Amino acid sequence: MDPVKSAIWCIESRFASELSLEDIAGVSGVSRFHLSRAFAASTGRSVMRYVRERRLSEAARQLANGAPDILSVALNWGYGSHEAFTRAFREQFGLTPEALRASRDLASIRLLEPLPMQANTSITLPEPRIENGKPMLVAGLGGSFSVDKVAGIPALWQNFAPHIGHAPGQIGHTTYGVSLNCDDNGNFDYIAGVEVSDFDNLPSDFARTRVPAQTYAIFEHRGHVTAIKQTYEAIWRDWLPKSGRKPGEGPTLERMDQRFDAATGQGVLEIWLPLKD
């Protein structure tokens, strides 16, 4: 069962009523954690952000049709006050509900239409290898991102590049992108780094994390790194549901060795997805 397709169906058929991530994950047949990652990889937004944007888009249609009472519209779409509704509406559309009702011009804003419910993954993943990964320490430059705002990750790698081979206590020449502290809203921390023997003597601006011993499914992404979203989508949307395995909640690793050319972004990059034993 495709969890993203099931989630979109659930949302589109029920988003006018109270709906939680737990409800949507239950219909989709996977955990909240799994659904959050699959939906983000496929759509570029979190599950509940999609719910919120769809509700506000339908509220905008009502306002453009001349709804007489803005508070009633707000309450109908799950907002407890005029102020909360106005704040969310302005954040999404860049104008107030009153302004849209006055202009009745939907062409001036960008509505979110229902996402297609058919799977559009165009790649077939080779079967991953399963390995028990050792615990290790990773240090480098870090930042906080969200599934719809990942444009800063290449710059993070660019800034870290001069440190590769010179980080105190560095082990080997392999680099690691570590995604951790993921939440249900699509926010996560990312470290562009290397394995180190200890955290002593590291530059003060280095982020650091302890990667525990984990069982991994290891996938190869081949080609340019900018197409990695397709590989993640195929993992979360296709491979995991069919495999019967459950994702672990530890850090996910992007491992780059001599087969990957950082200067061009071409080559082989491994995605190490933690699994529950």
Host domain of residue 139: 129-275
Identify whether 257 is part of a domain: yes
Task: Identify whether residues 170 and 202 lie together within a single domain.
Answer: yes
Task: Identify whether residues 211 and 181 lie together within a single domain.
Answer: yes
Task: Identify whether residues 49 and 147 lie together within a single domain.
Answer: no
Task: Identify whether residues 237 and 153 lie together within a single domain.
Answer: yes
Task: Identify whether residues 41 and 143 lie together within a single domain.
Answer: no
Q: Which residues pair with 179 in a beta bridge?
A: 190, 252
- Pick the last residue of a domain from 61, 76, 108: 108
CATH number for the domain spanning 13: value is: 1.10.10.60
Identify whether 173 is part of a domain: yes
Task: Identify whether residues 152 and 270 lie together within a single domain.
Answer: yes
Task: Identify whether residues 12 and 95 lie together within a single domain.
Answer: yes
Identify whether 122 is part of a domain: no
- Pick the last residue of a domain from 108, 141, 173: 108
Task: Identify whether residues 135 and 264 lie together within a single domain.
Answer: yes
Identify whether 229 is part of a domain: yes
Identify whether 135 is part of a domain: yes
SS (H, E, C) the chain: CCHHHHHHHHHHHHCCCCCCHHHHHHHHCCCHHHHHHHHHHHHCCCHHHHHHHHHHHHHHHHHHCCCCCHHHHHHHCCCCCHHHHHHHHHHHHCCCHHHHHHHCCHHHCCCCCCCCCCCCCCCCCCCCEEEEECCEEEEEEEEEEECCECCCHHHHHHHHHHHCCCCCCEEEEEEEEEEECCCCCCEEEEEEEEEECCCCCCCCCCEEEEECCEEEEEEEEEEEHHHHHHHHHHHHHHHHHHHCCCECCCCEEEEECCCEECCCCEEEEEEEEEECC
Mean pLDDT by 10 residues, the chain (277 residues): 89 88 93 93 92 95 92 92 96 95 93 80 83 97 92 93 96 97 93 97 96 97 91 93 93 97 92 95
**Total domains in the fold of the chain:** 2
Task: Give the closest residue to 166 by CA, choosing from 198, 143, 194.
Answer: 194
Relative orientation angle of helices 47-64 and 3-14, to the nearest 10 degrees: 30
